[in-house]
Amino acid sequence: MKYLIYLYTACLVRSLFAADLEPLRYNNPGLIVDLAVGLWAWPVPMDVNGDGNYDLVVSCHDVPYGGVYVFENATGDTAKNKMPIFKPARRISNGAPNVMPSYVEPVRIPVPENPHGSKVRFNQWRLVDYDGDGALDLTVGVEDWADYGWDRAFNERGEWTRGPLHGFIYLLRNTSTNAQPHYAAPMKIEAAGKPIDVFGCPSQCFGDFRGTGKLDLITGEFLDGFTFFENIGTRTAPKYAAGRRLSIRMDLEMIVVAAFDWDKDGDLDLIVGQEDGRVAFIENLGNTVDGLPQFAEPKFFQQQADLVKFGALATPVGVDWDGDGLEDIVSGNSAGYIGFIKNLGGNPPKFAAPVYLEADGKPIRIMAGPNGSIQGPAEAKWGYTTISVADWDGDGLPDIVANSILGKVVWWKNIGGDAADRSRMARSAAETGVELVESRPARAGHAVAHDAAHLRLERRRPARPRDARSRRLPRVFRTQTRRRRAQAAARKTHLLR
């Protein structure tokens, strides 16, 4: 149990008990899991140790995992194996925000820190020879929230009444040399005669993505997508057409993009970090359709297992989920998933890799969508699942009751097996996740309102059952009730004194 408490409280009491806490580890040699840091990933692909194989440096500047980490490639040349396995993270420094790679010789950049002139959330600098004259120019991507505000801007129809996030890109042209650069005043880069403006966090990537010899542009955004701007001008006089969306999407949002020829085939791929600390490889397939470069679907890099992780802002619960007498972990996270991490036994415990719990054959995931978060459409792909685990319907199996970004309490009934057949349930959990479905609670005191998307539980005063023992609440709720009664009695005693 000590280890489960550490997992849960790392973000909450770090400053109070940091000396007493230790991260929860898989303790499972040979286990492979998704490569990840904490909240969130700013990737820099490079050959760190000079062995000819590409490694990953990932910056993560938020607590409690903040730092710059090296993931060393453990399996060799990415020209032969595009998805190598990486060694566990090695921390090399404190974390830093806005880490954007430019693959150039080091240069001094004597310009103001923020060319936008007003407050920005992201300030992303990249050096590129924009106009082909041999001098490295500076491009700066900024994210401006001034029009968006922050929250409480929906009308009665669920429409956002403020502006969008803005993601502008500035060019500071180098009018001198790389040895002694002099940068002209910043100007916004345009496409189709208007300043480029994506939905925040542009992560501008200039490169020849189509093999034309010209610099096209691919941007990310605060959400999950990518925009391609075709250079319809020349290498020395770029001119950009209106942006067109690429078909690829990331699993989560707050994406950070780097263009890099990861598989060494002569075209630029995309290496992309996201909010939960994972990093994906998006392969450039080397062809175009209707002028758009074609990319494969994102694949998340993997590493040798070290620290137990389930996304960002995990909400773990310790419970014997599969009935084998060992305390497992069931957890929600910021992405809205609910996962199961099986305890394989031992002291300290050995854990399996997380698996998503499923309902109707699909991973459970709650997301805000365009108007489900009080903070607006910028939070569309977050769910913030917070869970309790209990036998809600008295059938001997642990169910899940979850709250989320939507503020709607949802019950998932466990149909993974009965108390006499826990082995079938355990196999299901270990391989594909336990299958769960939404169902009507058979519990006194709760009325259920149905719609197409969820079950909403509404607390009502229950009638007293004839046989109180047969209508007992699940253990977790009985414990909470006893605790509340004890706290009320203590307050009453204090007042009497």
pLDDT tens-place string over residues 42-62:
999 999 999 999 999 999 998
> Between 119 and 267, whose confidence is greater?
267
Q: What is the pLDDT of residues 81-117, one digit of tens each?
A: 999 999 999 999 999 889 999 988 887 788 888 889 8
pLDDT digits (tens, 9 = 90+) for 259-278: 999 999 999 999 999 999 99
pLDDT at 111: 83
Asked if 25 and 2 touch (Cβ cutoff 8 Å), the reply is no
Using alpha carbons only, give the angle 494, 496, 497 rounded to the nearest 5 degrees: 65
Look at residue 273 and give its three-state secondary structure: strand
Q: Are 366 and 150 in contact (CB under 8 A)?
A: no
Position 462 scores a pLDDT of 34
For 463-482, what is the mean pLDDT?
Answer: 41
Q: Which amino acid is at 79?
A: A
* Other beta carbons less than 10 A from residue 255's beta carbon: 26
Separation CA 145–CA 167 (nearest Å) = 9
Q: Is the pLDDT of residue 325 over 50?
A: yes
- Look at 150 and 395; give whichever has higher pLDDT: 395
Query: Is pLDDT above 70 for 249?
Result: yes
Q: CA-based angle 374:13:93, to the nearest 5?
A: 95
pLDDT of residue 62: 87
Residue 172 reports pLDDT greater than 90: yes
| Tokens at 491, concatenated | 């307050």
pLDDT above 70 covers a percentage of the chain that reads: 80
Order across the sheet with 85-86: list the strands. 32-34, 302-304, 85-86
Distance separating alpha carbons of residues 420 and 341, to the nearest angstrom: 22
Contact indicator for 160, 375 with CB cutoff of 8 Å: no
Of residues 345 and 460, more confidently modeled: 345
Element (H, E) at 454: none
In the predicted model, what is the mean pLDDT of residues 236-252?
98
* Average pLDDT value for the chain: 84
Task: Determine the Cα–Cα distance for residues 260 and 490; give it in Å rounded to an integer.
Answer: 63
- In this structure, how many other beta carbons lie within 10 angstroms of the beta carbon of residue 311? 27
User: Hey, what are 411's tokens?
Assistant: 């019950």
Residue (of 164, 166, 163, 126) closest to 142 by Cα position: 166
Angstrom distance (rounded) from CA 58 to CA 27: 23
Using the CB atoms, write b or e for 329-356: b if 16+ within 10 Å. bbbbbbbbbbbbbbbbeeeebbbbbbbb
Average pLDDT over residues 182-195: 97
* pTM of the predicted protein model: 0.83
Averaged pLDDT for residues 202-212: 98
Which token pair is 246?
A: 């690429």
Asked whether the beta carbons of 19 and 36 are under 8 A apart, the reply is no
Q: Is the pLDDT of residue 4 over 50?
A: no
101 in Cβ contact with 258 (< 8 Å): yes
Q: Which residue is it, tokens 């007493």?
A: 20
pLDDT surpasses 50 at 418? no
